[in-house]
Amino acid sequence: MGFIGGTTNNGAGIYGLQAALDQISHVGCKAIERRVLTLTERLCEGLRSRGYKILNPRGEDEASGIVIFRGDKFTSEAVYRRLTDAGICVSLRGGSVRVSPHYYYSEDEIDQLIRRLA
Q: What is the pLDDT of residues 37-77, one digit of tens each?
A: 999 999 999 999 999 999 998 888 888 999 999 999 999 99
Examine residue 41 and state whether it is found in any structural domain, yes or no: yes
Name the least confident of 8-17, 41-50, 73-82: 8-17
Three-class DSSP category at 85: helix
Q: Give the CA count within 13 Å in the CB-facing half-sphere of 92.
A: 12
**Number of domains making up the chain:** 1
Q: What average pLDDT does this structure show over 82-94?
A: 95
C-alpha 32: how far from its chain's center?
13
| CATH code of residue 85 | 3.90.1150.10
Q: Give the CA count within 13 Å in the CB-facing half-sphere of 118.
A: 8
Domain housing 36: 28-116
pTM for the model stands at 0.83
Examine residue 13 and state whether it is found in any structural domain, yes or no: no
Examine residue 76 and state whether it is found in any structural domain, yes or no: yes
